[in-house]
Amino acid sequence: MQMKTLVLGATIALSMAATTSVVAKPHLRDTPIDDGLLAVGLADEIRKACPDISARMLRAFGYINDLKSQAQALGYSEAEIDAYRKSDVEKARLKQRGDAYLAANGVVAGQPETYCALGRNEIEKSSRIGSLLRVN
């Protein structure tokens, strides 16, 4: 009888420990991965609009791979990462964040010199965005 009680108690304790140790993952938008994708998108937009600045493509691809590895380390599957990356809702949300960042930093659509000024500033301060760009 004591052995059954001991086994039952141990089973319940292990079950409770397993249940309490399971923590729901935050949505990818609530992780640093989101800010990383925003930086990549902003760098791409700057280099497309400013003829004096180009992308550090190998660095950008490496950084994107690092972001994917970080997401996997947080427990996200390949399917979850792809779904997030391809989501029209998430793309629109990141575009809105990017547009707000550009506007807050003096960028005016159709005025390449404003993109160039932001790009040079980002490069000068060695920001994540700046690390993905170079002056031609």
In angstroms, the CA 134 to CA 72 distance is 30
For position 88, what pLDDT does the model report? 96
For position 56, what pLDDT does the model report? 96
In angstroms, the CA 44 to CA 17 distance is 46
For position 25, what pLDDT does the model report? 86
For position 13, what pLDDT does the model report? 43
Q: Please state the pTM of the whole predicted model.
A: 0.79
Per-residue pLDDT of the chain (136 residues; tens, 9 = 90+): 554 544 444 444 444 444 444 568 889 999 999 999 999 999 999 999 999 999 999 999 999 999 999 999 999 999 999 999 999 999 999 999 999 999 999 999 999 999 999 999 999 999 999 999 999 9
In angstroms, the CA 116 to CA 94 distance is 21
Q: Where are the domains of the chain?
A: 27-135
For position 39, what pLDDT does the model report? 97
Between the CA atoms of 97, 98, 99 and 103, what dihedral angle is there, to the nearest 10 degrees?
100
